């Protein structure tokens, strides 16, 4: 029996809804054939955007979408993606499969997508191969309401009203695919580029500087030292790779050792956040600058027979558990984390949605975002779960939890049982108001279970009637390899 304690009398800060953000790059079938079918498509769409995909993303309350990359962002020239589609300049997507990019999905289409999703756009500019004027003009094009050359160009392209823009990334992975810069070089470039990103009218940009690759703490230190007053956010990228970058390991074919190794590596994000936050705290004790984990997720070998440059992978309960512990960790660090973006929304890496022609399925990771959606903009509560270490040579906690209180006073607890074989009996004590009503939903299957186009509902959310109210809380059994949402009123 494991004790779970939720202290409803101890609020620990607001969990930004943007922690539940997503990322979509011009990569493989994420944008084309994923989010965007094109206006002439037989697949049901609104202005070219797939309706089944937008419906599903709205259900998990997608709060923000980052675009157009990724590595693609530092090769992307936004003016190639506006105006009459047949006249748009083509390019080769050299990072991702060497395919021809026809630029039919550009700024107008992305803003339309965000408007259909009801989410905040997060645009990532090109610092690696683009110019200062080019980046500056993109912001003007999107956010200046009128009387400027870019506002006039936008109007000529059919949109007189400015869209408005909050989140803007100044380059991506500039220590790697975004120009192979040193921290010092990028810091100087950041200072210059951000100078010309203007606030038009009432629009206020939230400028995000490129941050570290995993545990590169020196990068964070240099950025904070040189640029802190000029940025609103600093990014961090971390991918969970079971093996190494040459042999990452299969998305579905893994053994028990690899299962726990993956979860251990997913949990490592907690250590990264703590260490980067400590450096940020030194330069920014008020925590004005947000840490944006704007790329995270599991990265496995591509599915056999698919283009290696398309990063298409299946998604199992192992991925769902990796997502659950990561989101619990983000909640726990909501004082510093202002946004996080899972890589990548559809058909790429740890996607929440997979498509095949007109067919679409929801992955186990999608269901985790569904189970966690109540945390968005809620208040983090102190929580503790008594647990043991499992996993042998890859020790991970058996149980993992976070809890929050919503605006209406309801408490949401998300708990994962990481064991691939043992159920856990949980005895919860709530310090706070007496429980009037309790509901629970969960996913629970074998570690390798996944949804396929033959069996799209192998993993799905089920109501759990086994949660019982006790004298000072509740008790329930968390089966092996499960993720729970428990809501108390």
CA distances from 178 to 296, 373, 380, 429 (A): 18, 33, 35, 49
Taking CB under 6 A as the binding criterion, the range among 52-60, 65-73, 110-118, 398-406 that sits at the site for ligand AHR is: 65-73
Q: How far is the CB of 293 from ligand AHR (least distance, A)?
A: 12
Q: Is 69 in the site for ligand AHR (CB under 6 A)?
A: yes
Q: How far is the CB of 341 from ligand AHR (least distance, A)?
A: 10
Q: For 160-181, give one letter per residue: b (16+ CB within 10 A) or e.
A: eebbbbbbbbbbbbbbebbbeb
- CA dist., res. 314 & res. 31, Å (int): 18
Indicate the residue among 103 and 172 with the shorter CB distance to ligand AHR: 172
Q: How far is the CB of 395 from ligand AHR (least distance, A)?
A: 28
Among 4, 19, 64, 71, binds ligand AHR (CB under 6 A): 71
Taking CB under 6 A as the binding criterion, the range among 66-74, 79-87, 158-166, 433-441 that sits at the site for ligand AHR is: 66-74
Q: How far is the CB of 69 from ligand AHR (least distance, A)?
A: 5
Active site residue 134: no
Sites for ligand AHR among residues 376-395 (CB under 6 A): none
Among 112, 189, 232, 295, binds ligand AHR (CB under 6 A): 295
Asked whether 33 and 105 are in contact (CB, 8 A), the reply is no
CB-based burial label for 418 (10 Å; 0-12, 13-18, 19+): buried
Indicate the residue among 128 and 250 with the shorter CB distance to ligand AHR: 128
- CA dist., res. 412 & res. 84, Å (int): 48
Sites for ligand AHR among residues 344-363 (CB under 6 A): 344, 349
Sites for ligand AHR among residues 133-172 (CB under 6 A): 172
CA distances from 462 to 343, 412, 465 (A): 26, 17, 9
> Tokens 């339309």 label which residue?
112
Give the three-class secondary structure for 206.
Answer: strand
Q: Is 343 in the site for ligand AHR (CB under 6 A)?
A: yes
Three-class SS of 15-38:
CCHHHHEEECCCCCCCCECCCECC
- CA dist., res. 86 & res. 216, Å (int): 44
- CA dist., res. 26 & res. 263, Å (int): 28
Q: Residue count at the site for ligand AHR (CB under 6 A)?
A: 10
Q: How far is the CB of 173 from ligand AHR (least distance, A)?
A: 5
What is the phi-psi region of residue 409: left when phi exceeds 0, alpha when psi lies from -120 to 50, beta otherwise?
left
Q: Which DSSP symbol is given to 229? A: G
Q: How far is the CB of 312 from ligand AHR (least distance, A)?
A: 12
Q: How far is the CB of 214 from ligand AHR (least distance, A)?
A: 11
Q: Give the residue closest to ligand AHR by C-beta.
A: 70
Q: Is 56 in the site for ligand AHR (CB under 6 A)?
A: no
Q: Which of 173, 189, 445, 485 is catalytic?
A: 173
Indicate the residue among 162 and 348 with the shorter CB distance to ligand AHR: 348
Q: Is 70 in the site for ligand AHR (CB under 6 A)?
A: yes
Q: How far is the CB of 299 from ligand AHR (least distance, A)?
A: 8
Q: How far is the CB of 211 from ligand AHR (least distance, A)?
A: 12
Give the three-class secondary structure for 223.
Answer: helix
Asked whether 198 and 207 are in contact (CB, 8 A), the reply is no
Strands 462-463 and 438-444: antiparallel
Indicate the residue among 235 and 404 with the shorter CB distance to ligand AHR: 235
Closest to 12 measured CA to CA, from 324, 271, 380, 276: 380
Give the three-class secondary structure for 65.
Answer: strand
Indicate the residue among 33 and 172 with the shorter CB distance to ligand AHR: 172
Indicate the residue among 223 and 480 with the shorter CB distance to ligand AHR: 223
Among 25, 140, 301, 445, binds ligand AHR (CB under 6 A): 25
Q: Is 173 in the site for ligand AHR (CB under 6 A)?
A: yes
Q: How many Cα atoms occupy the beta-carbon half-sphere of 369 within 13 Å?
A: 29
Which residues have a Cβ under 8 Å from the Cβ of 317 and sit 6 or more positions away? 364, 443, 445, 446, 447, 448, 449, 450, 459, 481
Sites for ligand AHR among residues 395-424 (CB under 6 A): none
Active site residue 382: no
Strands 233-240 and 206-213: parallel
Indicate the residue among 121 and 178 with the shorter CB distance to ligand AHR: 178
In this structure, is the dihedral angle defined by the CA atoms of residues 315, 320, 321 and 322, taken in order, positive or negative?
positive
Indicate the residue among 140 and 173 with the shorter CB distance to ligand AHR: 173
Q: Which of 75, 101, 295, 485 is catalytic?
A: 295
Taking CB under 6 A as the binding criterion, the range among 1-9, 67-75, 222-230, 331-339 that sits at the site for ligand AHR is: 67-75
Taking CB under 6 A as the binding criterion, the range among 218-226, 342-350, 394-402, 480-488 that sits at the site for ligand AHR is: 342-350
- CA dist., res. 301 & res. 251, Å (int): 7
Q: What is the token pair recorded at 436?
A: 């009037």
User: Where on the chain is the footprint of ligand AHR (CB under 6 A)?
Assistant: 25, 69-71, 172-173, 295, 343-344, 349
Residues labelled catalytic: 173, 295
């Amino acid at each position: 029996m494991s004790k779970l304690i939720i202290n409803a009398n101890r609020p620990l800060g607001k969990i930004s809804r943007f922690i539940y953000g997503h990322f979509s790059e011009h990569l493989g079938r994420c944008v084309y054939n994923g989010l965007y079918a094109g206006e002439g498509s037989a697949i049901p769409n609104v202005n070219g955007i797939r309706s089944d995909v937008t419906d599903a993303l709205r259900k998990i309350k997608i709060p923000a979408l980052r675009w157009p990359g990724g590595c693609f962002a530092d090769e992307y020239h936004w003016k190639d993606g506006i105006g009459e589609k047949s006249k748009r300049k083509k390019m080769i997507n050299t990072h991702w499969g060497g395919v021809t990019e026809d630029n039919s999905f550009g700024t107008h289409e992305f803003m339309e997508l965000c408007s259909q999703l009801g989410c905040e756009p997060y645009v990532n500019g090109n610092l690696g191969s683009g110019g200062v004027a080019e980046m500056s003009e993109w912001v003007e094009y999107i956010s200046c309401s009128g009387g400027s050359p870019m506002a006039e160009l936008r109007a000529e392209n059919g949109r007189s009203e400015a869209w408005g823009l909050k989140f803007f990334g100044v380059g991506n992975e500039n220590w790697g695919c975004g120009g192979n810069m040193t921290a010092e070089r990028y810091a100087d470039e950041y200072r210059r580029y951000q100078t010309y990103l203007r606030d038009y009218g009432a629009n206020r940009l939230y400028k995000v500087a490129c941050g570290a690759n995993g545990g590169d703490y020196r990068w964070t230190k240099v950025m904070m030292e040189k640029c802190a007053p000029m940025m609103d956010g600093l990014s961090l990228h971390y991918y969970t790779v079971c093996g190494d970058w040459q042999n990452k390991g299969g998305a579905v074919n893994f053994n028990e050792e690899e299962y726990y190794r993956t979860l251990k590596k997913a949990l490592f994000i907690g250590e990264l956040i703590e260490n980067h936050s400590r450096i940020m705290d030194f330069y920014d004790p008020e925590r004005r600058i947000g840490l944006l984990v704007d790329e995270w997720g599991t990265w496995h070998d591509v599915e056999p027979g698919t283009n290696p440059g398309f990063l298409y992978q299946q998604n199992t309960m192992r991925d769902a558990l990796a997502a659950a512990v990561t989101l619990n960790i983000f909640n726990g660090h909501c004082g510093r984390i202002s946004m996080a973006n899972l890589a990548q929304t559809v058909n790429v890496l740890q996607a929440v949605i997979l498509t095949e022609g007109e067919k679409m399925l929801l992955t186990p990771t999608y269901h985790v975002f569904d189970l966690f959606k109540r945390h968005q903009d809620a208040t983090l509560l102190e929580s503790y779960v008594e647990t043991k270490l499992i996993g042998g040579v890859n020790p991970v906690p058996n149980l993992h939890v976070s809890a929050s209180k919503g605006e209406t006073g309801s408490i949401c607890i998300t708990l994962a049982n990481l064991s691939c074989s043992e159920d856990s009996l949980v005895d919860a004590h709530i310090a706070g108001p007496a429980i009037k009503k309790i509901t629970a939903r969960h996913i629970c299957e074998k570690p390798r279970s996944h949804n396929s186009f033959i069996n799209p509902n192998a993993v799905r959310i089920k109501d759990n009637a086994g949660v019982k109210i006790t004298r000072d809380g509740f008790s329930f059994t968390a089966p092996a390899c499960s993720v729970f949402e428990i809501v108390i009123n």
